[in-house]
Amino acid sequence: MKGDATMTISPIFAKVRAGEDLTQDEIIFLLSITDSEEKEKIFNLAEELTIKYLGPEIHLRGIIEFSNYCSRNCNYCGLRLDNSKLVRYRMQPEEIVECAEKIADLGLKTVVLQSGEDFWYTKDMIRDIISEIKKRTDLAITLSLGERKYEELKVWREAGADRYLLKQETVNQSIFAEIKPDSVYEERFGILKQLADLGYQVGSGGMIGLPGQTVSDLADDLIYIRENPVGMAGFGPFISHGDTPYSSLSNGDGELALLLLAVARIVLKKVFLPATTALETLVVDGRKKAIKAGANVIMPNMTPINYRKLYEIYPNKAQTTLDEVVDLIKSIGRVVGKGHGNTLI
Ligand code: 5AD
Ligand code: SF4
């Protein structure tokens, strides 16, 4: 379904500036725009709204990809269980905590602990890592550990974890079943609600360019986030990985991913939106363009260098140093967030 042919952007912009919610058709209309001048207007509005709602700060989150073992077989992802070509690694708990200390020493305020779904790390191990990081630093902690049990999420929250990322990837249930054959849509969504109930700041999001996905599906992704207690949402283009069942699929459209980010800002208002690494990987100057299109978070990769290339969820993953990111933020007249950068939802 395409947007209504009689729609124009001016009345939609007026609605947005008045703080009104857009309809699904209006969102589809914005996502279907191809004219570069009109797209520029959307990017400008998105940056204007970002500063109005959230200020000029770009929040930095140092990410530690601490294990590339995964028990699942998502068809798009290089970390999938059946990818026997990947050399696997696990960081020891003390190594993770020391890496977090380095992140704090660099002046960052958040650490993101991410891994495949790796049950080698038990409830108590993760709890102890969280407590130790909280004891040694004043970092906010974001977990991104996949679908874990309520009891684990509860214990980790009590130990001091602040946020949890669990992207739905797509809200189109048949695409979800196709791309994540061993996950159950409703269960994953249920965990999102549990996380919110436990008081986590919750992150969702998805990919652009999945098999069979339309702009109408992307509009549904945004509406789902608007309607649920989601404080942050990461969207990036799908990137084909040679050692997965999706090796022959085309990459997602980087330009559409950028437009989706801007429309996400317009639709989701105060939700935190990262400039994703996938976008930086596919689009030249993708991070800069993302900030100029509504992103307010960057996640510099702080994984120890010897493991970094092994966390290959997709090929040629962009790498940007902390210094480069800070210079970039300053060069476009924005500032690095000094506080923890807690989400507002
Ligand atoms: N292309 C783009 N993004 C991917 N992710 C995983 N595999 C790919 C891929 N092939 C994203 C997913 C996941 C996050 C860790 O990385 O959105 O949630
Ligand atoms: Fe594992 Fe996550 Fe990759 Fe799925 S997307 S295979 S759960 S690391």
Residue 73 C-alpha to ligand 2 middle, in angstroms? Answer: 7
User: What average pLDDT does the structure give for the chain?
Assistant: 97
Ligand 2 lined by 117 (C-beta under 6 Å): yes
Q: Are the CB atoms for 210 and 249 separated by under 8 Å?
A: no
Residue 213 C-alpha to ligand 1 middle, in angstroms? Answer: 15
Both tokens assigned to 312: 């290959």
Assess whether pLDDT exceeds 70 at residue 3.
no
- 18-49 pLDDT per residue, tens: 999 999 999 999 999 999 999 999 999 999 99
What would the mean pLDDT of 117-138 be, rounded to a whole number? 98
Residue 216 C-alpha to ligand 2 middle, in angstroms? Answer: 25
Q: Residue 114: nearest ligand to its CA?
A: 1
Identify the residue whose C-alpha is closest to ligand 2 atom 8.
116
Please state the atom number of ligand 1 nearest to the C-alpha of residue 206: 17
- 168-219 pLDDT per residue, tens: 999 999 999 999 999 999 999 999 999 999 999 999 999 999 999 999 999 9
Q: Are the CB atoms for 312 and 287 separated by under 8 Å?
A: no
Identify the residue whose C-alpha is closest to ligand 1 atom 2.
238
The structure tokens 């069942």 sit at 245
The Cα–Cα gap between 102 and 94 comes to 12
Straight-line distance from the first to the last Cα atom of the chain, in angstroms, rounded to the nearest whole number: 31
Residue 240 C-alpha to ligand 1 middle, in angstroms? Answer: 10
Identify the residue whose C-alpha is closest to ligand 1 atom 16.
313
Proportion of the chain above pLDDT 90, given as a percent: 97
Question: Strand 232-237 relative to strand 57-60: parallel, antiparallel, unpaired?
Answer: unpaired
- What pLDDT score does 129 carry? 99
Ligand 2 lined by 86 (C-beta under 6 Å): no
Nearest to 89 by CA among 130, 126, 118, 63: 118
Best of 83, 145, 314, 316 to mutate for ligand 1, by most ligand atoms within 8 A of CB? Answer: 314
Ligand 1 lined by 77 (C-beta under 6 Å): yes
Ligand 2 lined by 146 (C-beta under 6 Å): yes
Please state the atom number of ligand 2 nearest to the C-alpha of residue 71: 1
- Please give the DSSP secondary-structure letter assigned to residue 143: E
The Cα–Cα gap between 199 and 99 comes to 26
Residue 335 has phi, psi (to 5 degrees) of -125, 155
Best of 66, 68, 74 to mutate for ligand 2, by most ligand atoms within 8 A of CB? Answer: 74
E strand or H helix that includes residue 95: helix 93-105
Q: How confident is the model at residue 345 (pLDDT cuts 50, 70, 90)?
A: confident
Residue 36 CA: distances (Å) to CA of 3, 32, 43, 291, 295? 17, 12, 10, 18, 19
Q: Are the CB atoms for 166 and 194 separated by under 8 Å?
A: no
The pTM of this model reads 0.97
Cα R_g (the chain), whole angstroms: 19
Q: How confident is the model at residue 5 (pLDDT cuts 50, 70, 90)?
A: low
Assess whether pLDDT exceeds 50 at residue 1.
no
Ligand 1 lined by 278 (C-beta under 6 Å): yes
Q: Are the CB atoms for 183 and 176 separated by under 8 Å?
A: yes
Q: How confident is the model at residue 319 (pLDDT cuts 50, 70, 90)?
A: confident
- What pLDDT score does 59 carry? 98
CA angle 215, 216, 217 (to 5 degrees): 90
What would the mean pLDDT of 138-146 be, rounded to a whole number? 98
- 251-294 pLDDT per residue, tens: 999 999 999 999 999 999 999 999 999 999 999 999 999 999 99
Ligand 2 lined by 116 (C-beta under 6 Å): yes
- 57-84 pLDDT per residue, tens: 999 999 999 999 999 999 999 999 999 9
Question: Environment class of residue 308 by beta-carbon count within 10 Å: exposed (0-12), middle (13-18) or buried (19+)?
Answer: middle
